[in-house]
Amino acid sequence: MDITEVLHIFESILGFIERYTVQAYWFPMMLLGVGIFFTFYLRLPQVRFFAHAWKVLTGRYTPKDSPGDTSHFQALSTALAGTVGTGNIGGVALAIFMGGPAAMFWMWMTAFLGMTTKFVEVTISHKYRSVDKEGHIAGGPMFVMHRALNMKWLAVTFAVATLISAVVGGGNMPQSNNIALGMNDTFGLPIWLTAGTLAVLLALVIIGGIKRIAQVTVSLVPFMGMLYFIAALAVTIANWDNVVPSFLAVFRDAFNGTAATAGFLGASFAYAFNHGVNRGLYSNEAGQGSAPIAHASSRGTSPVAEGMVSILEPFIDTIVICTLTAMVILSSGVWTQKFENEFEHSALQWVAGEWDDAQEADREALTAHIFGRGDEQIEPLSASLTVVDGIIEGGGFTAIHNRSVAENLRVLVDGEPYTGALPVVDGQIAKFPWVIRGDSLVHSARLTLEAFKQSFVGDYAPYVVSIGLLMFAFSTAIVWAYYGDRALIYLGGERYLLYYRLLYVTMFFAGAFVDTGLIWKISNICLPLMAVPNLIAIFLLRAEIREEIDSYWHSFR
C-alpha cells in the first residue's frame, strides 16, 4: 500500500467522522441551543453587560495586588490572539465558499449567542482555577469538571481533546500551513525557510510561559487588528456599490440557501447553516472551552468581572473583523470567479462526460453530484488520459476542483509539462508525481487575497494579506501552545512539558507541508471533541453561575 492509498483511507475516515459530527445538525444545534438558553436564562447579558465590560477591561475595579499572572487587557489580548487567526482571513472565506453569503448570517448568530456562552464559561473557569507546582495559575473547563462537578472522566476527555486540538488541530498546523503558503506565494520564500524560522521563534516564546506569551500578544493584537481593519475598509470602500447588495444577500439567503450563479454551484440551507456555525466557532471559539484557559490567568478576585471582559471577544473577532473580511469578499464578487491555481488532490475529482457550469441543466446535475442529492447523472471517471506537453488531449471527461468545473488544465511533473498517460481510477489520480494546475474557484486565504486585489490596494494586496496572516496565525499558534500546556498540567504531566513543547513546535513545522484540505478536516473534527464536554459542564452549573452574577452586582453596588 503506497502513501496515496494511505492518505485516501485516512481522509475517508476523517470524512466519515466529520459527516456525523460537525456536518450533522446535532452539533450546531447544541452549540446554538446552549447559547440561546443562557441568553434568556441570564436575561441578555451580552447586551446588558456590554458597556460595563469595557470599564472592567481598563482595570479600574481590580486591585493591583489581586492573585493572577496577567491583567484583564493581557488576558483579553491573549485570548483574542488565540481566536483572531486564519479563521478571520481564511475561515470566513471558506465559509462563504462552502455556504455562500448566508454562511455569514449564521456566523453572526454564533457570535451574538457566543458572547453569552463565553461569558458563562470564562466566569465559572475563573472561579475554579488552581495553582500549579511553579506557582502559576492553571485553569480551564477541565478544572471546573473535576472540582465543581466531580466528573473526572469528563475533565480528562476535555483535556485530552485540548491536547489533540493544540498539537494537530486548528491552533497549530493550519496556522503554519497558511503562513508558509502565503509567504511562498507573495515573497517567493521557500516553505521550509518560513516554517523553520517561525518554529524557532515559536519555541523561544512558549518556553517563557504565560507571562512572555501575554507580553507578545498584547503588542501584536492591537497592531495587527488596526492594520487589517484599515486595509479591509479600503477594499470595501472601493467596492461600495456592492456593499448593500452583499448585506441583503446575507439575509435573503439565510434560510433558503444560495442559488447557483456563474462558477458557484449553489449551497443549500444546511451547508450555509453548518459551515456558518462551524466557522463561527472556529473563529471566536465560544463554547469550545479554550478561551477560559487564558482568562483563568487574569488578576482578580471576581470571576464574573473576568467573564465580563470575555464578552468582548466574539464581538471583536466575529462581528467586527470577520464581517470586514466577508464584505471584502462579497462586495468584490471574487467568490463566484475562477482563478488559476495548483489543484489540491483532496479537492479534485474526475467524472465521465463533458459538463459545463454555464448551462443550467448541467449546473443542476453537477450540484446534485457534489451534494449527493437524488439519482446522480454523473459517474466517476476511470480511464487513461493522453497528455501531450502538459495538455490533456481528447474529451469525454470533466475535472471538478473546489466544487467547480476546472478549466484550462495543465499537467506537470517536477515543474515541467508532462507527456504520457494519466491514469484515472474511480475519479481519482495518484498524488505523485503529477501536479495539476488550472482555473477553478479558490477558498481560504487565497480567496481573501483575490478580494483584496479588487481595489486600489491592487498589487500591494498580497503583502497586506500575507503580513496580516503571518501576525494573526503566528499569535494563534503561540496561545494554543499554552492551552495544550495547561491541559497537560491537569493530566499530571508536568515532567513532560518540555517534550510536549518540542512536539508542538515540530508539528507546527510539519504543518507547513501538509495538504490544506486534510488539515481543515482535522481542525473541524477537533471542535466537537472540546465543545461538547464544555457545553455539558456549563449547563449543569447554570444555577451556580447565576448566583455568582447576582453576588457580583450586589457587591459592586
* pLDDT tens by residue, 237-247: 888 888 899 88
Is the per-residue pLDDT at 374 higher than 60?
Answer: no
Distance of CA 69 to the CA centre of its chain: 28
Question: Which amino acid is residue 55, in one-letter code?
Answer: K
Half-sphere exposure of 520 (CA within 13 A, CB side): 21
DSSP 554: H
Is the per-residue pLDDT at 385 higher than 90?
Answer: yes
- Please state, in angstroms and rounded to a whole number, the distance separating the CA atoms of residues 433 and 386: 16
- Please state, in angstroms and rounded to a whole number, the distance separating the CA atoms of residues 456 and 447: 17
**Neighbour-count burial of 435, counting CB atoms closer than 10 A to its CB (0-12 exposed, 13-18 middle, 19+ buried):** middle
185 and 462 Cβ atoms separated by less than 8 Å? yes
Most confident stretch, 78-87, 327-336, 356-365: 327-336
Is the per-residue pLDDT at 339 higher than 80?
Answer: yes
Whole-prediction pTM value?
A: 0.83
34 and 535 Cβ atoms separated by less than 8 Å? yes
Across the chain, which distance is largest between two alpha carbons, in Å?
A: 80
If pLDDT is split at 50, 70 and 90, which confidence band does 122 have? very high
| Lowest-confidence segment of 381-385, 438-442, 458-462, 533-537 by average pLDDT | 458-462
Nearest of 91, 176, 30 to residue 530 by alpha carbon: 30
330 and 249 Cβ atoms separated by less than 8 Å? yes
Mean pLDDT for the stretch of residues 387-397: 92
CA 521, 522, 528, 534 torsion: positive or negative? negative
Is the per-residue pLDDT at 340 higher than 80?
Answer: yes
Q: Which residue has the higher pLDDT, 537 or 479?
A: 537
Q: Which residue has the higher pLDDT, 434 or 17?
A: 434
- Check residue 118 and give its pLDDT: 94
Question: Which amino acid is residue 423, in one-letter code?
Answer: P
- Check residue 536 and give its pLDDT: 95
Mean pLDDT for the stretch of residues 158-168: 89
Is the per-residue pLDDT at 300 higher than 80?
Answer: no
Is the per-residue pLDDT at 25 higher than 70?
Answer: yes
- Check residue 206 and give its pLDDT: 85
Q: What is the pLDDT of residues 457-491, one digit of tens each?
A: 667 777 877 887 788 888 888 888 989 988 998 99
If pLDDT is split at 50, 70 and 90, which confidence band does 159 have? very high
Coil, helix or strand at residue 402: coil
- Check residue 164 and give its pLDDT: 87
- Please state, in angstroms and rounded to a whole number, the distance separating the CA atoms of residues 111 and 281: 8
Peptide bond into 141 cis (omega under 30): no
Q: What is the pLDDT of residues 404-461, one digit of tens each?
A: 999 999 999 988 999 999 999 999 887 678 999 999 999 887 888 888 887 766 677 7
Is the per-residue pLDDT at 307 higher than 70?
Answer: yes
Strand-pair partners of 138: 130
Neighbouring CB atoms inside 10 A of 539's CB total 16
Q: What is the pLDDT of residues 102-119, one digit of tens each?
A: 889 999 998 999 999 999
Question: Which amino acid is residue 137, in one-letter code?
Answer: I
Distance of CA 263 to the CA centre of its chain: 24
Residue 403: C-alpha distances to residues 112, 190, 346, 538 (Å):
30, 29, 11, 39
Is the per-residue pLDDT at 309 higher than 70?
Answer: yes
- Please state, in angstroms and rounded to a whole number, the distance separating the CA atoms of residues 49 and 119: 10
Mean pLDDT (the chain) is: 85
Nearest of 81, 538, 118, 550 to residue 306 by alpha carbon: 118
Nearest of 78, 171, 16 to residue 530 by alpha carbon: 171
- Please state, in angstroms and rounded to a whole number, the distance separating the CA atoms of residues 397 and 387: 13
**Where do we find the cell 439519482?**
375
CA 331, 336, 339, 341 torsion: positive or negative? positive
Nearest of 8, 123, 227, 154 to residue 531 by alpha carbon: 154
119 and 310 Cβ atoms separated by less than 8 Å? yes
DSSP 265: -
If pLDDT is split at 50, 70 and 90, which confidence band does 42 have? very high
Grid coordinates given for 483: 492551552
Neighbouring CB atoms inside 10 A of 154's CB total 21
**Where do we find the cell 484583564?**
72
If pLDDT is split at 50, 70 and 90, which confidence band does 7 have? low
Q: Which residue has the higher pLDDT, 471 or 219?
A: 471
Phi and psi angles of residue 230, each rounded to the nearest 5 degrees, phi first: -65, -45
- Please state, in angstroms and rounded to a whole number, the distance separating the CA atoms of residues 437 and 46: 47
Q: Above pLDDT 90, what percent of the chain?
A: 32
Half-sphere exposure of 433 (CA within 13 A, CB side): 10
- Please state, in angstroms and rounded to a whole number, the distance separating the CA atoms of residues 334 and 323: 16
Nearest of 539, 410, 419, 534 to residue 140 by alpha carbon: 534
- Check residue 369 and give its pLDDT: 82
Cβ neighbours for 5, distance < 8 A, ≥ 6 positions apart: none
Q: Which residue has the higher pLDDT, 144 or 449?
A: 144
DSSP 372: T
482 and 210 Cβ atoms separated by less than 8 Å? yes
Which bin fits 285, alpha (ψ -120 to 50), beta or left (φ > 0)?
A: left
Is the per-residue pLDDT at 202 higher than 80?
Answer: yes
Report the chain's C-alpha Rg in angstroms. Answer: 24
The angle subtended at Cα 56 by Cα 52 and Cα 62, nearest 5°, is 140
- Check residue 179 and give its pLDDT: 86
- Please state, in angstroms and rounded to a whole number, the distance separating the CA atoms of residues 347 and 265: 15
Three-state SS sequence of 311-367: CHHHHHHHHHHHHHHHHHHHHHCHHHCCEEEECCHHHEEEEECCCCCCCHHHHHHHH
Is the per-residue pLDDT at 549 higher than 80?
Answer: yes
Q: Which residue has the higher pLDDT, 57 or 47?
A: 47
- Check residue 506 and give its pLDDT: 93
- Check residue 154 and give its pLDDT: 94
295 and 309 Cβ atoms separated by less than 8 Å? yes
Q: Where are the domains of the chain?
A: 9-337+451-556, 340-440
60 and 131 Cβ atoms separated by less than 8 Å? no
Nearest of 202, 211, 183, 204 to residue 504 by alpha carbon: 202
Strand 435-440: give its sheet, edge to edge: 339-342, 435-440, 407-413, 416-417
If pLDDT is split at 50, 70 and 90, which confidence band does 148 have? very high
Domain 9-337+451-556 fold: Amino acid/polyamine transporter I (1.20.1740)
